[in-house]
């Protein structure tokens, strides 16, 4: 990695940390400069504005995620349903691969803060747009195998990815809105409706689509287990992150 890319990534990493701490809307370019100890001219050598910086972070993040997914989706010998479920499983594993699940909780609390709405919408749109071609290929494979019954793979892929985003938002809002461990059981139950909707849209056998595999669910369950901690405690945590 050259010096230009190294400094650019340093700015992106510092900015994102401040967005998580203060929210995107409440973080100024000057705060980013102060945290890095750089001049304004240095910042504008890499980015035209704060929104350009956000675009840069979202692009880098989505490229990293898609590189991971591309590796696993290229595995030989998987049928269409297995590939689709594998994609969902890997998306869940990426969340559990945070430094630790405690860090993930903090990120979710910041991510779903109203002052991060612009950032959240950009990240969501980028992931959907980059995922659609992969999912469309899976749908085409499923049609060829006779397990899916859809003749417009691209549009159907976009619908499926938007359903996946909705299910992820459901996960995030449950986790940030109350007790972590008991929320997962509620999420698992809710997600069965998303899975049923996806299967019906695709014409796939009911119960064949799995948004959260058992191993990913257990990793979240174990990571979020907090005996004796009440939902009121989590509401207090949520308020602290917004101060």
Instruction: Please give the pLDDT value at position 81.
Output: 94
188-241 pLDDT tens trace: 788 889 999 999 999 999 899 998 888 887 777 776 655 444 444 444 434 443
Name the pLDDT band for 104 (thresholds 50, 70, 90).
low
Instruction: Please give the pLDDT value at position 228.
Output: 42
Tokens 């809307």, located at residue: 25
45-79 pLDDT tens trace: 999 999 999 889 888 888 887 787 777 677 788 89
Average pLDDT over residues 173-180: 64
Domains and CATH numbers, the chain: 1-47 (1.10.10.60), 58-241 (1.10.357)
Of 104, 118, 100, 108, nearest to 52 by C-alpha is 118
């Amino acid at each position: 990695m050259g010096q230009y890319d190294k400094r650019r990534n340093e700015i992106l990493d510092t900015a994102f940390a401040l967005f998580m701490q203060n929210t995107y809307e409440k973080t100024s370019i000057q705060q980013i400069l102060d945290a890095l100890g750089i001049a304004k001219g240095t910042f504008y050598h890499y980015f035209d504005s704060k929104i350009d910086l956000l675009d840069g972070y979202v692009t880098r993040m989505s490229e990293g995620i898609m590189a991971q997914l591309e590796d696993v989706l290229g595995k030989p010998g998987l049928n269409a349903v297995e590939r689709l479920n594998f994609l969902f499983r890997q998306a869940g594993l990426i969340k559990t691969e945070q430094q630790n699940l405690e860090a993930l909780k903090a990120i979710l609390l910041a991510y779903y803060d109203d002052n991060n709405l612009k950032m959240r919408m950009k990240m969501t749109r980028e992931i959907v747009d980059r995922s659609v071609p992969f999912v469309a290929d899976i749908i085409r494979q499923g049609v060829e195998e006779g397990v899916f019954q859809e003749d417009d793979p691209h549009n159907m892929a976009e619908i499926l990815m938007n359903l996946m985003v909705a299910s992820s938002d459901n996960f995030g809002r449950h986790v940030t809105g109350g007790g972590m461990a008991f929320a997962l059981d509620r999420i698992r139950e809710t997600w069965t409706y998303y899975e049923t909707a996806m299967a019906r849209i695709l014409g796939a056998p009911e119960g064949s689509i799995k948004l959260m595999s058992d191993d990913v669910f257990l990793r979240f369950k174990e990571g979020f287990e907090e005996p004796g901690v009440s939902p009121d405690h989590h509401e207090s945590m949520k308020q602290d992150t917004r101060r």
